[in-house]
Chains A and B, each alone.
Chain A
Amino acid sequence: MVRIILKLDTVEQLKGWEPEWTAFDKVVNEIVNEYTMVFGADASLNASDDVLKHSKLFIRDALTFWVFSDAIRFEDAGTMWLVYTFWLFMFRGAGCHNYGNELLEMVAQFNYEMGALLRRVTERTWLVNRWGKLGRAIPTDRYLEINNGFIKVQRPRDFTKCADDILQNQFAAGGSCASMSYIREKGSGPVELLRKLSRDVAVHFDVTDVNRRHSEVSKEADINALVMDLKDANVHTFTSGQTVTQVDRKKGKAIVDIFTEGKEVLEHGAFRSWKDRTGKFGADILGCDSEYQCRQEVETGCRGVNGETDAGGGDGDGDELSVEFDPLADPEMENET
């Protein structure tokens, strides 16, 4: 079932592997078939090795995320929709109901209500391309978050060390300038222009932060450390009977296949209650189409099971309401965490 021939002991030995295309592609296919195609009931998932199972699921989920991010860069709406199709179940399985509901709503609008042109235009609002180069697109909301980051106060904690920071954020509100009127009247409108200005000043005085790569942690060192750890722990070697128990989980399940889990949750009423809630208006909580619900009641002979399984569906689980993230967050905020 899980075919692992152990001849290469360490990843270090892969150095000597100098494949041509056929060999390379064959290995890639094997990896994808064996380790990632675990949607639905896959035989190897029932194997009694939790550790291996978990790693497979992680690889699948992380690759899905990678595919989505790549589709964004290349403005590939088709692939984005492909990932949404799977995320519709996966978000639900992981308990992210707000965005799970949003995906349902998006499918409803795009596939059942909008005309072709409206669909195309709406999709076009998703992404922007600052540089006009294929492969460099970012989501529209990320563009705004980046602007917000530039508007925000970024005062260096240590003035001697962060001389460039002062230059780079000279337009940012600081001290008594961090007021509503400053942001409204000065900081936010011309943010693009101020950004360019501060860059030009930095370039002129030759203080651009060109060496940032050096201060970043080396990716290779990280990967080498992890590779050794994976080998030591025999994560990807099938070991029968390895179980992972988790104490603080209510469900008692340590390893969750969020796709299958999400499908079950939707089948057990979450989908129906979403449909009942949104019936006509797509308002997600309030818009309950009474006419539709009556018809449903007649059809099924019972009252709708509003919100029975859809834990925290519309009423918003408090933490997700405030989900707000800024790529260039306030340094003082980081101190807290």
Chain B
Amino acid sequence: MQLSKSSRARARDFVKAGMRLWALVYDNINFTLRKASQRLHNLTEQINATTSAVVALPACFSTPDFVSMCKMPGQDRWSGNRREMTLDKLVPTPEEQGQLHSAFCHAVRTLLLNNLKGLTGGGSRTVRIRDKVAARKPTIRQLDGAGDKTDFYPLPALAEEEASVKGTIRVVQALICDTLSLMAEVASSTLRFFVGDWLTVRNLRLMKHMRITEPDSWGRMDWVQEAAMPFHFQLNAVHMLVRTHLGESDNDPGCLDRHRARLQRFKLDKKKPEYNQACELIEHSLIARLLDITRFGVNSSCIVFSDERFG
């Protein structure tokens, strides 16, 4: 209890100090209470709560700059520029394809380096190659303050469900007013970042749309800036990979399901595979394939390797 209070006080102090920009990340947490763990009745129940945390952004962003930027009239978010967006502009350019090519090269180099038998150990040749691989790592643009330690301020959970638009409104208001005890005017004076998964972000947009006719900024909630987070993109990319490549074990010897069966793993749900299991299978399958195709490439280009050695 005391710890919870002080964790909340810590977050409040940080937010009120206003020295740094911050983002609020929240998501729902669901507990299934089984029959066996019930005391009063024998029904299975679920607890739905919302957990959240304040994440401090690096100090390199200056708060006054950000606040004045938000006040600029040109920052009208829905200026309609997106009308200029066309499908042609979305198609990857040759330059982008080239960038992906070099990113792929780095990926294959790293994976082979870590898995080729001839490149294990700390021999000088291996070290040379490892250095060269590291030096050739393509980096396009790092975030501001990359590598800085992030400060976290986890908040006590709310007894609300954020899965609906109404729930989202309650969650946003409760987080700002109760948990962080910010005044409405203060909260709505500048953009506040609320980040989460696709559903969260979508609900935030719908919320703003619902409130569009409110007279004041606090009511309109146009001070809420949403952002979709990368982990859920990773999650869905894995779903995408499994959906596309799971295949039918019988007639496709190169499909993922065949590899799963070979490794005697649990079956993967095609629609909603378990993330860690699927990641592991994909990674191992990818490495095995790369090694398998490496053996074709080696002969034509090999310098050290000679035919006599292996007949």
Contacts and interface: CB of A to CB of B under 8 A. Distances in A.
A281 B284 contact: no
A285 to B, nearest CB: 7
Contacts of B41: none
A158 interface: no
A92 to B, nearest CB: 10
Most chain A CB neighbours (cut-off 10 Å) among B84, B90, B118, B119: B90
Most chain B CB neighbours (cut-off 10 Å) among A15, A19, A24, A64: A24
Contact of A17 (B96, B105, B236, B302): B302
A212 to B, nearest CB: 14
Contacts of A330: 31-32
A179 B199 contact: no
B262 A88 contact: no
Given A18-B125, A244-B247, A244-B252, A122 B225 contact: yes
A123 to B, nearest CB: 6
A147 B229 contact: no
A65 B212 CA distance: 38
A160 to B, nearest CB: 19
B230 A86 contact: no
Interface in B265-311: 266, 269, 271-272, 274-276, 282-305, 307, 309-310
Nearest to B40: A176
A62 B51 CA distance: 32
Given A126-B230, A275-B85, A281-B209, A190 B290 contact: no
Interface string A77-116: 1111111111111110111101100101111110111110
Nearest to B68: A117
A179 B143 CA distance: 40
A57 B245 contact: yes
A58 to B, nearest CB: 5
Interface residues of A, number: 188
B85 A183 contact: no
B138 interface: yes
A129 B310 CA distance: 48
B37 interface: yes
Contact of B303 (A6, A22, A91, A123): A22
A225 interface: yes
B205 interface: yes
A233 B156 contact: no
Contacts, number: 548
Interface in B92-145: 92, 96-97, 99-101, 103-112, 115-119, 125, 128-129, 132, 138-145
Contacts of B156: 184-185, 188-189
Contacts of B23: 125, 140
B304 A23 contact: yes
A266 B232 contact: no
Contacts of B142: 74-78
Interface string B232-254: 11111111110111011001111
A125 B53 contact: no
A144 B140 CA distance: 27
Interface stretch (A33-41, A199-207, A304-312): A33-41
B301 A55 contact: no
B55 interface: yes
Interface string B143-158: 1111111101011111
B310 A13 contact: yes
B162 to A, nearest CB: 11
Contacts of A302: none
A68 B225 CA distance: 24
A291 to B, nearest CB: 9
Interface in B21-49: 21, 23, 25-34, 37, 39, 47, 49
B6 to A, nearest CB: 8
Nearest to B212: A281
Contact of B96 (A57, A85, A219, A280): A85
Given A66-B111, A124-B61, A226 B263 contact: yes
A317 to B, nearest CB: 10
B85 A108 contact: yes
A304 to B, nearest CB: 14
Contacts of A64: 100, 237
Contacts of B243: 94-96
A14 B55 CA distance: 47
16 contacts: A14-B118, A20-B129, A20-B304, A39-B97, A62-B286, A65-B237, A102-B228, A115-B75, A117-B65, A122-B193, A184-B4, A188-B4, A188-B157, A226-B263, A229-B259, A324-B30
